Structures are given as structure tokens and as C-alpha cells.
Structure 1
Amino acid sequence: MELTRRGMMQGALAGATAGALGLRAGWARAALELSGATVEVLSDGHLMLPAEFIFGPMPGEELAGVLQPFGMEPAAALTPECNVTLLRKDDMVVLFDAGAGATFQDSAGRLGEALDAAGVAPEEITHVVFTHGHPDHLWGVLDDFDEPFFSGAQHLIGKAEWDYWIDPKTVESIDAGRTAFAVGAQRRLALMEDSMTFFGDGEEILPGVAAHMTPGHTPGHMSFEIRAGNESVMVIGDAIGNHHVAFARPDWLSGSDQDQPMAAATRSALMDRLASEQMRFVGFHLPGGLGRAERDGSSYRFVGENA
């Protein structure tokens, strides 16, 4: 299926803790206090996706049964949230992903307003860390004049992800519906090259922040474990992309992933770890962002924490 901006447009809060942190309902999805650190989930708006973009490869009859408890239909348009993670620790103010910016979808690109509600100016951000290079995570890195939106920040991206998007051959080899993704990523990353720092799997990229390779959604997709004292939370980007079928059947192939079998294997392994360790995590497209995974027989369920 060709996925264009126009086609996607045709597809069709905060809790008490967030209030205590001075966040405005609607922009703040959730907040979590760790030892000496605060993790806040801010809204960049939401996407408009045709159902086929995710459900295309899935078995129709079984899919209907999975979606029924959520009040969803297999053919209905999807409007997943976009949740950007903000970490405040010591003298660091860190964003995980930069949002969609103004040129991807009209329903997204609201991160500037969310930061304003959180009392943070873009120039106060010290680091921007990317999970991957898709438009809703990367395109907000530049302003309307192609200048860095977070002018005082160091920008960090996994080397494998950088290599994939900056390679001119990617535009030719990527699925036709994602050609605009590749063109947009290459242009923005090229403009940001001088301020970009690269890292690999397993590295501590910032004090208390470790990178974990979670490939498949994109070739170099990364998740990040934030640890403070004995507490931790994982920023998982799109490694687990929704709260319904990804939890009920993490082994199913999803149309949203570039390497679908690899992404399913990654998702299954990550889900098992998160459920086993009962580690909180922030998912970019999960309701409210913050939550846990619980086992439900042979599958899982998402337990949100909007507080």
C-alpha cells in the first residue's frame, strides 16, 4: 500500500502527579518521579492512519476477535497518540525524539506547545536522542527555516540508523509508500550532521541512559533504559507500536514495520522482558504513553499509568 501524507490524512490527562509537576492537562500525558530524575510524557498530537497500514498483513478473522474487546473494527481508521519523553536529571533536559514538526500531518507537530505547557523553552533542551528516523520522530528537529529547533542541544542517534537513512540507496530500496520518509530523513539528517553524535548497542549514551538495539520497525531502531538509583523506565519508541494487537499477538507481522519478521521477533523478546521485570516503559503510540506489560495467558495486556 502506498502511504502518502494525503492518504494518511484521509484515514481517519494528565494525572495527579503531572498536576503536581505543573503540567497542563492535554499536553502532559503522564509523569514519573525517579531517584533524582523526572520522566514526563508530552503530547505531539496524534497521527491519522488507514487501518491497512498496521493490520494489512494480519489474519482478518482472528484480528477481529483481538480488536473486539477494544471496541475496534479491522477496517476503521486509526488515530494513535504521539508521545515524546522528556527527562530532567541533574543539569540535563533530554528529549527522546523530536516529534513530527509542521510538515508531516496536521494532527501532529504540537511538541512546541507541549514544552511551553511544561515550562521548557526549546533552547533549554540539552540533548535530543532519537529512537529512529521516521517522520513523526525526526521531522521536528528543524524549524520553518531549516535551522535546528533545539538550538542548544546535542543530538544523538544510533550509528546503524544514521547509516541507513543517510545512504542515497535507501530512497530507491525502501517500500514505495515510504519513499517520502527516506527523502525527508536524508535531508534533515544531512543538515544536522555537524551536531550529531553516534552510538551503538549497549552504550551508556548519557549518565544513567543506556541504548538497546530493538530493530525491525527500522533497521537501527533503538530503545533506551533510564536508570536512577534502583528504579528504571524504558523508552521503547515504536518497538511496541500499539496497545491492542501488539500486546495480544506480538508475534504477528505488522504493516507498520519495515522488516516485519525481525520486528515481530524484537517485539516478542522485549515484551517478555518488560513483563518479567515489571519495568515501566514509555511507548510513542501507546495511550498515555506510560505503563507496564502484564501477561494474560499466552499473550499480554497494556496497563497504563496516567499518573
Structure 2
Amino acid sequence: MDITRRMMLQTMAAMPLAGGLPVLTRADISMGTAMLTTVSDGHLVLPASFIFDPMPKDELGQILADYGISSEKLEPECNLTLYRDGDHTVLFDAGAGPDFAPTAGSVLDSLDAAGVSAADITHVVFTHAHPDHIWGVLDDFDELVFPDATYMMGRAEWDFWWNPETVNTIGEARAAHAVGAKRRMTAIEDRVRLFDDDQEILPGIAAVSTPGHTPGHMAFEIRQGNSAVLVVGDAIGNHHVAFRRPAWHSGSDQDAETAATTRQVLFDRLTHEDLTLIGFHLPGGGIGRAEKAGDGFRFVGAA
């Protein structure tokens, strides 16, 4: 099952308004002379079947009960990573912008809370080109939100969404994603730099190919001195079934088999190297670690 904006709005309409104020930023991670912060773009409201449809229902039910997760709707956070080293102010992904979901698109407020303006952003680095990651490059007037930034995307991801045949082959439910991605990519075409797997795209930041969620999805290893963090985007999309059963296919992934293989490789690396990870849709701002737990893993948040 594929998510559409209409489905998201229908699910929203059935929900009461959440209480309390959102947490706009999370604690900084000091990396030598550099600093990492996660900034909130809000959250999504999704039918749970979007992820859970392909999964074995009996075992899934127990996992959801263990985590207190609804079998009807999900409300994943949207956490963008902000990196500052004195020379570069880098935002990983651009958020959903004003046109995708009423509960998302608030990254500018979060940046302001972190003391950063849109004009301060020197680079926007994309993990992939799904709506909640790229639609935020344009505002209500189709102007660039980050006017002075250089935009960076993996070559395979760019080529996939830029291909005029993608909208015809991606499936009806995701066709709007393709149209929306192409529109934003056209707006940044003259400012984009493409890169490949294992390439150091900026000092201390290396691209790590993590395909499956989309064909060219990228994670990023940020390393300064003895500190290292892996920004995984949507390659690890939640803190429950993705950790407990990384080999299970998820309805959110464009190539479920490849995505499952990618998750297992990432977990092996994260636990072997004891790396901090930042996940776009993980809770508590998305910062934490993966720990081995039985025949799966568990997410240990930094907070």
C-alpha cells in the first residue's frame, strides 16, 4: 500500500488535535570543532498499513503491543540534521514544505530556535527525494526557501527522479511524488552538485549508498576526530519493526527486498562500530544507538 496526500489528510481529519508544544530542536552533539543538532519539521500522520501491510500479522501484533504502537495510525517525527563546523552550515534534507502535510513543514521555526536563518544554510544535502525530504525547498510562492545554498544529491537518486519515464512507471500512488520531486529539482537544477557512493562531499562528510527505500537513497557518515555519526535518513524508518525485524519487507520502501538488505548491513555496521545514528523518523529527535537484542536490535535514544 502506498501513501497519498489525500489518505494523510483523511487520517488527520479523524484525529483530535495533539496537546502541547512541539520540541523544535534537540541537544547538540559536539564533534571536535563541529556541532550537530536535529531540528524538527513536525510529524506525519499515516495509516499504519502503509508500513505493516506486507508483514506477518501474528508476530507483528506482538511487536506493536511491546512498543505501544497503534495498528491503525502512525505519527512519525520528521527530524532534519543540522551540521555546523564554522565554515559550513549544512541541512540534511529540506523538509515537507507547505504543500504536503498540515502537521509538517515547520523546519524554519526550528532553525530559528537554533539561531539559524534560512539564509545561513550553505548546503542542503538530500538523503532522497520523497516529499517530506525535498518539497521544502520551495515556499508558498515557489521561491527557494534556502536562497544561498548549494544543493547536493546522489547521482543515482537524481537520475531516477529526473527521468521523464519515472512518473509513468512508479505506480499510481507514487506518481504525485515523482511530479513533485521533478518540480523541486527543476528549481534547483542550476545549483545542484551530484555525488557518488563513498565520495567525501564536504570536509568530514562522506556519502554511503543505502538503496531500497528509493533507488538512490544515501546515508552520510560525519566524522570529526574520534567522533562519528551516521545520518541514515529513511534507510531505517522506524524504531519498532525496522529494528526488531530488519529483514521484513516494509510497504514504505520502493524496493522492499533491497531495503531489507540495506537495513541489515547498516545494523551490522552501527553495532560493530558503536556509531551514533540519526534517523529522520526515529523518536526523541532521532538521535541514538542501535543495540543487539535477541535476533534483532533495539533503538536506544540519546535522551
TM-score class normalised by the smaller sequence: over 0.9
Partner of 1:36: 33
Corresponding position: 1:57 with 2:47: no
Distance (whole Å) between structure 1 residues aligned to residue 68 and residue 101 of structure 2? 25
Which amino acid in the other structure matches residue 27 of structure 2?
A
Partner of 2:6: 6
236, 240, 254: which one pairs with 1:240? Answer: 236
Distance (whole Å) between structure 2 residues aligned to residue 280 and residue 87 of structure 1? 15
137, 142, 146: which one pairs with 1:146? Answer: 142
Corresponding position: 1:259 with 2:247: no
Q: CA deviation at 1:25?
A: 7.2
Matches within 5 A, 1:14-163: 26-73=23-70, 75-163=71-159
The runs of at least 4 aligned residues of structure 1 exceeding 6 Å deviation read: none
Distance (whole Å) between structure 2 residues aligned to residue 4 and residue 267 of structure 1? 24
Partner of 2:283: 287
TM-score, length basis structure 2: 0.95
What SS class does the counterpart of residue 135 from structure 2 fall into?
helix
Partner of 1:18: none
Partner of 2:300: 303
Distance (whole Å) between structure 1 residues aligned to residue 151 and residue 220 of structure 2? 15
Q: Please list the CA deviations of residues 36-64 of structure 1 after superposition, one character each: whole Å capped at 9, or x if unmatched.
A: 11000010000010011100100101100
Q: Please list the CA deviations of residues 134-168 of structure 1 after superposition, one character each: whole Å capped at 9, or x if unmatched.
A: 00000001122222110111110000000000111
What SS class does the counterpart of residue 198 from structure 1 fall into?
strand
TM-score, length basis structure 1: 0.94
Preserved CA contact (<8 Å) 1:165 1:185: yes
What SS class does the counterpart of residue 263 from structure 1 fall into?
helix
Q: Please list the CA deviations of residues 180-226 of structure 1 after superposition, one character each: whole Å capped at 9, or x if unmatched.
A: 10010011101210000000000000000000000000000000000
Preserved CA contact (<8 Å) 1:11 1:51: no
Preserved CA contact (<8 Å) 2:289 2:300: yes
Partner of 1:179: 175
Partner of 2:162: 166
Structure 2: gaps of 5 or more residues:
13-20
Judged with a 3 Å threshold, the aligned counterparts in structure 2 of structure 1 residues 152 and 182 are, in CA distance, closer, same or farther, namely same
Structure 1: gaps of 5 or more residues:
13-23
Q: CA deviation at 1:272?
A: 1.1
Partner of 1:223: 219
What SS class does the counterpart of residue 28 from structure 2 fall into?
strand
How many percent identity over aligned positions?
57
Distance (whole Å) between structure 2 residues aligned to residue 203 and residue 48 of structure 1? 35
Q: Please list the CA deviations of residues 68-91 of structure 1 after superposition, one character each: whole Å capped at 9, or x if unmatched.
A: 111124x32000000000000021
Distance (whole Å) between structure 2 residues aligned to residue 71 and residue 156 of structure 1? 37
What SS class does the counterpart of residue 302 from structure 1 fall into?
strand
Distance (whole Å) between structure 2 residues aligned to residue 163 and residue 52 of structure 1? 30
Which amino acid in the other structure matches residue 41 of structure 2?
D
What SS class does the counterpart of residue 73 from structure 2 fall into?
coil
Q: Please list the CA deviations of residues 89-108 of structure 1 after superposition, one character each: whole Å capped at 9, or x if unmatched.
A: 02110000000000000000
